[in-house]
Structure 1
Amino acid sequence: MSDQVTFPPSVVAAMQAQLPAVAEQTVASIVVEVPSYADAFAGQMGRAISNAVQLALGGFLELATTAGGADASRPIGPALEGAYSLGRGEARSGRSMDALLAAYRVGARVSWRHMSDTAVGAGLSVGALARFAELVFAYIDQLSAASVAGHTDELETTGRVRRHHRERLGALLLAGRPLHDLTPAADRAGWLPPRTLTAVLLPEVRARGAVALLDPRTLQLDDDPPGLDPALELSVLLVPDAGEGARVALLRALDGRSAVVGPARPWTAVAGSYARALRALGLGLRATGPAPLDTEQRLPELVLRADEDALADLRAAALAPLDGLTPATREKLAATLRSWLLHHGRREQVAAELFVHPQTVRYRMGQLRDLYGDRLEDPQTVLQLTIALGPEAPAR
């Protein structure tokens, strides 16, 4: 069988005469058989679909009456452009391609039934009829493919625009911009503000998997977040409403992703959460095992190390009485003094923590009292020693 079919002039004339009626019947069938379009034809979308049906049928007749015969592989520009626009319109309306593809199937069936009846009645040979059917459905496949392409392109375009607006919003949030800047930016991004946001730092390669487990409103910043060294290749996530009881679920979702998690803050004040996470990162704080670093659990270290120079000076002054000791003795007495302060002088608990006999604790505290004298009873000295011997206190 030839790849082309030639229509006699009488057949062409008969089909052209029936074109308006076939278009009307096609639209009517779509309304009945595709519920999603039941109300669409009353408005602009209805006019677009009606025009597309007539354009498609006209394109088909052009295909069928081309000199030398009809070839379904030959593109028909206007009809395909119309189908492409329909696909984009469906994406803009928020619908999937299901309804439009169903409409194409209905259109193919109705068009084939009426146009084949017309063609046979006008004298089309039975031998050409089978090829005519192939031509109809191949043409519908072309239109369907064009609409799918339009739908995909529109989603990609709107997705890029939405991502751009959300990244811009994230940048404004981290910059601590005022509410009158944030509100219109959130509107442009189609983003409903939550009650709180929590800043999370994690490697870029692990961000995509994390986002899939979090609130869909989570904002992600990858392009040079403020204060981050680009060489670290870190992403920033701003996670909605992950405070209080919801924080446990957030930490669980970030397990094994080398994340640093700031505190929950009102959404307009998330810059403070980001600053906390940056501070923990800069101080080199590390979590134990695969769990994320929860800055809420490391507040003493963050406070004590807010001014490293001041802390170093305080330690030097508070621990000066131990300077004349050997390093080993100094380390033992410092550990004993720290435990004594934290346990409020309860010797048995100090001994259990240090794995020594209570008499050893008593002996060491005697040495410390010889070195410090009455200052161990002074509240100000006790405060300074507690800070000096706090988390990660270095042995000198």
Structure 2
Amino acid sequence: MGLDPQVADALRARLPEVADRVVLTIIDEVPSYAGAFSGRMGEVIRNAVQLALGGFLTLAARRDGKAPPKAPAIEGAYQLGRGEARSGRTVEALLAAYRVGARVSWRDMADAAVAAGIGAEQLARFAELVFAYIDELSASSVAGHTDELESSGRVRQRNLERLARSLLTGAPADAVNAAAERADWDPPATLTAVVLPESQVSHALTALDPATLQPTDEVPGVPDGHAVLLVPGNGSAGARRTLLRSLQGTDAVVGPASPWLQVAASHRRALRCTALGLTGLVDSEEHLAALLLAADPEARADLRARVLAPLADLRPSTAEKLTDTLRSWLLNHGRRDAVADELFVHAQTVRYRVQQLREVYGDRLEDPAFVLEATLALA
């Protein structure tokens, strides 16, 4: 542009004053910056403003047609954006600060330039240059802000994933607490393990607590094509109802709510319930008996064989009918009509079969220990 030397000198003399006014106006008009200019970060921001304005004057004063390097000011703006992201200020607040800075800078520098005798044509060109330059700086700051959020977000996400894995692998409590602190994650009263198809994870996460943990590394025991979520809660019945409502429409298996450091137990329960082969949304709390019976399949098979041993010498068809009758008789507490309804036979048929069972088992049908074993074996 080639500002007249006297205009450039006048502007440069006003530079510290303009920079201070920019800072004070940003503090006054952008709430996020009310306490931002104390301490080291305040110095960084003040220096960035002075560097930006100084770089602009150097650019505007060149008369040889060659643009001076903008790299220092652009880099300063980029680092300012990263610092603002680390300080927790939004990109909207950052852009608002730039808008305020552009307005104040233009007003003060235009006044100084007019007082120094700048011509109308040069003043118009000066305005174009001011706002184009600030656009470049703000774009660089936004890029820095975005990059910092992405970088810190990736780091935090990795820390959250490590925390989830530590919880599921039974790491010592002090190590898990340290992992939670590194991840900036506030431990809840309870965590509930949820096992569900990977294809349904995104849908589920939109409805669950944002603090839900998701280990992305392979978790031992989880079936292929499935994932684990650890959902925060307070352990109340209401919280569980809310969790189950949030998972409606999924094939999730929901473990019990456990103290957060003991969520591995909830995870184990959810995995055992998954192995039952149930479909739809499954609340493990409603399948405790089935889980108990499935805990040791070999032991249950041995118990069944022992309970049914007295029927081994009968014809297979007879043994099968008596096995069904014994099971129904046990589960219905000997109510003949209920057994008949369940087996779709006449009550007299039930009476006849029970008589056969008494002949085979004798007094054992009245023995509480045998009744318990037979119920467990045939349930």
User: Is the TM-score greater than 0.5?
Assistant: yes
Q: CA deviation at 1:54?
A: 0.7
Give the aligned residue type for 2:36: A
What is the CA-CA distance between 1:260 and the residue it aligns to?
1.8
* 8 A Cα contact 2:189 2:235, kept in partner: no
The answer for the alignment partner of 1:299 in structure 2 is 288
SS at 1:219's partner residue?
coil
Decide which of 227, 243, 250 is 1:250's aligned counterpart: 243
Give the whole-Å Cα distance in 2 for the aligned partners of 1:134 and 1:324.
104
Maintained 8 Å contact 1:84/1:149: yes
Q: How does 1:201-240 map to 2 (within 5 A)?
A: 201-228=195-222, 232-240=224-232
CA contact (8 A) 2:11 2:112 kept: yes
Cα distance, 1:173–1:130 mapped onto 2, change above 3 Å: same
Within-5 A mapping of 1:1-396: 5-69=1-65, 76-228=70-222, 232-241=224-233, 243-245=235-237, 246-281=239-274, 283-287=275-279, 290-291=280-281, 293-325=282-314, 328-390=317-379
- How many angstroms apart in 1 are the aligned matches of 2:131 and 2:317? 89
Secondary structure at the counterpart of residue 212 of structure 1: helix
Q: Alignment length, in residue pairs?
A: 378
Asked if the contact 1:318/1:388 (under 8 Å) is kept, the reply is yes
Preserved contact between residue 52 and residue 73 of structure 2 (Cα < 8 Å): yes
Tell me, yes or no, if the aligned pair for 1:64 and 1:70 is still in contact at 8 Å. no
Q: Deviations over 1:141-193 (max 9, x none)?
A: 11211121111111112211111222212122112122222222221121222
Compared with structure 1, are the counterparts of its residues 349 and 77 closer, same or farther at alpha carbon in structure 2 (3 Å cutoff)? same
Instruction: Answer whether contact 2:22 2:104 (CA < 8 A) is retained.
Output: yes
| Offset, 1:220 | 0.8
Q: Distance in 2 between matches of 1:379 and 1:254?
A: 42
Deviations 1:241-288 (A, max 9, x none): 26341212212222232222222222221111112222233x34313x
CA contact (8 A) 1:30 1:37 kept: yes
- Give the structure-1-normalised TM-score: 0.87
1:204 positional shift: 2.4
Unaligned runs of 5+ in 2: none
Note the C-alpha offset of 1:224: 0.9
Contact 1:56–1:79 (8 Å) recurs in 2? yes
Q: CA deviation at 1:118?
A: 2.4
SS, match of residue 214 in structure 2 = strand
Shift of the 70–30 alpha-carbon distance from structure 1 to 2, 3 Å rule, reads farther
Whole-angstrom distance in 1 between the partners of 2:241 and 2:321: 38
Alpha-carbon distance in 1 for matches of 2:129, 2:208: 49
Q: Would the aligned equivalents of 1:198 and 1:242 in 2 still touch at CA under 8 Å?
A: no
Matched to 1:221, the amino acid is: P
Check conservation: 2:3, 2:62, Cα contact below 8 A. no
CA RMSD of aligned residues (A): 2.3
Matched letter for residue 368 of structure 1:
L
Distance 1:327 1:75 in 2: 96
SS in 2 for 1:177: coil
TM-aligned CA deviation for residue 103 of structure 1: 1.6
Q: Secondary structure at the match of 1:220?
A: coil
CA–CA separation in structure 1 for the residues paired with 2:69 and 2:299: 77
2:278 maps to a residue whose letter is: R
Q: Percent identity?
A: 60
Paired position in structure 2 for 1:394: none
What displacement does 1:37 show?
Answer: 2.2
Distance 1:306 1:29 in 2: 70
* 1:217/1:22 CA distance change after superposition, 3 Å: same
Q: Residues 357, 132 of structure 1: CA spacing in aligned structure 2 closer, same or farther, 3 A cutoff?
A: farther
What secondary structure is seen at the aligned counterpart in 2 of 1:221?
coil
Once the two structures are TM-superposed, the CA of residue 378 in structure 1 deviates from its matched residue by 2.3
Equivalence for 1:393:
none
- The alpha-carbon deviation at position 328 of structure 1 amounts to 5.0
Any conservation in 2 of the 1:6–1:70 contact (CA below 8 Å)?
A: no
Deviations 1:314-346, CA, capped at 9 Å, x for gaps: 111212333355555444433322121112111
